């Protein structure tokens, strides 16, 4: 990595290991700010400069990464950074990267405000949790101009092994929201499956082990995400026969699961909805015979 002067705000469960990865990166000069002194001490021991304020953090760095709790905190941090740049005689801060997951309209609003003082904003939420942050294997989805992305890419690659330029400002946030829709709907489906398994007298811990094992083998929901469009599939498309097979297996197993749930008196609304929508969701015709 070439010389890189970075500031990092927000040293929580994910932000702290992200900052530690930056502190360990070759050629990086890191400054950090947080209200909690405990992670600050750890980052200082790792070689980072501890700033006493956001204005002090912005002084001497080119990029600031923000990983605070919520939309309101992101806006508050950006307001202070913009004020610091606006009042500085020779500001060095050029780019702010928002790693927090915020509302879809927030990145563009903040980018417009920051542009008034010559600062570029990118939204770059992450996926992979604290474990991925600690290992440096996060997926990072960045929205912003190509020039802005190129400027911060070395820092992002110090923290993640899958760095994607999702598009214009706000695209990173939309990318993350789409990804997490699948994540948490899957979690909800897992709770439904657990209720069914428990009613059927099964070991839930063993079920969890099997799910984690087979998701590693098959790829989980990502296994069907190989098309560049969600449009209906033409019959001569390679994926038509592949997904027809997926549909046949899926609908058969879903019918059996719903039948089992009915016999045990367990409500499985997600299974019923999946049975209804799996085929068309895959892009297959609703009247296709299975």
Residue 215: exposure state from Cβ atoms within 10 A (0-12, 13-18, ≥19): middle
Which among 50, 63, 165 is positioned nearest to 114, based on CA atoms? 63
Per-residue pLDDT tens listing for the chain (290 residues): 457 899 999 999 999 999 999 999 998 999 999 999 999 999 999 999 999 999 999 999 999 999 999 999 999 999 999 999 999 989 999 999 999 999 999 999 999 999 999 999 999 999 999 999 999 999 999 999 999 999 999 999 999 999 999 999 999 999 999 999 999 999 999 999 999 999 999 999 999 999 999 999 999 999 999 999 999 999 999 999 999 999 999 999 999 999 999 999 999 999 999 999 999 999 999 987 65
Report yes or no on whether pTM surpasses 0.95.
no
Give ranges for CATH 1.10.1040.10 in the chain. Answer: 175-282
Q: Show the CA angle centred on residue 177, arms to residues 97 and 68, nearest 5°.
A: 40
Q: Which residue has the tokens 């039948």?
A: 259
What residue ranges of the chain are covered by domains with CATH 3.40.50.720? 4-168
CA–CA dist 99, 88 (Å, integer) = 25
What's the gap between Cα 85 and its chain centre? 29
Active site residues: 176
CATH number of 4-168: 3.40.50.720
- CATH tag, 175-282: 1.10.1040.10
Contact yes or no for 64/74 (Cβ under 8 A): no
């Amino acid at each position: 990595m070439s010389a890189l002067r970075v500031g990092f705000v927000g040293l929580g469960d994910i932000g702290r290991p992200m900052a530690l990865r930056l502190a360990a990166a070759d050629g990086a000069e890191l400054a950090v700010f947080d209200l909690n002194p405990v992670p600050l001490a750890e980052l200082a021991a790792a070689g980072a400069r501890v700033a006493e304020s956001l204005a002090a953090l912005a002084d001497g760095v080119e990029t600031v990464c923000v990983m605070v709790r919520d939309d309101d905190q992101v806006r508050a941090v950006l307001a202070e950074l913009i004020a610091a740049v606006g009042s500085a005689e020779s500001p060095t801060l050029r780019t702010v990267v928002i790693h927090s997951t915020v509302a879809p309209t927030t990145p563009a609003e903040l980018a417009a405000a920051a542009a008034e003082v010559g600062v570029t904003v990118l939204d770059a939420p992450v996926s992979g949790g604290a474990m991925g942050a600690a290992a440096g294997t996060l997926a990072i989805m960045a929205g912003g101009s190509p020039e802005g992305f190129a400027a911060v890419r070395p820092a992002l690659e110090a923290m993640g092994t899958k760095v994607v330029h999702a598009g214009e400002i706000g695209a990173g946030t939309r990318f993350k929201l789409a990804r997490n829709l699948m994540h948490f709907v899957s979690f909800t489906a897992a709770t439904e499956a657990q209720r069914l398994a428990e009613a059927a007298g099964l070991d839930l811990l063993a079920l969890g082990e099997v799910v984690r094992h087979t998701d590693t083998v098959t790829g989980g929901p990502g296994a069907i995400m190989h098309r560049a469009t969600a449009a209906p599939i033409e019959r001569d498309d390679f994926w038509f026969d592949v997904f027809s097979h997926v549909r046949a297996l899926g609908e058969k197993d879903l019918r059996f699961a719903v039948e089992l749930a009915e016999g045990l008196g367990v409500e499985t609304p997600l299974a019923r909805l999946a049975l209804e929508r799996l085929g068309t969701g895959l892009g297959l015709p609703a009247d296709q015979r299975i």
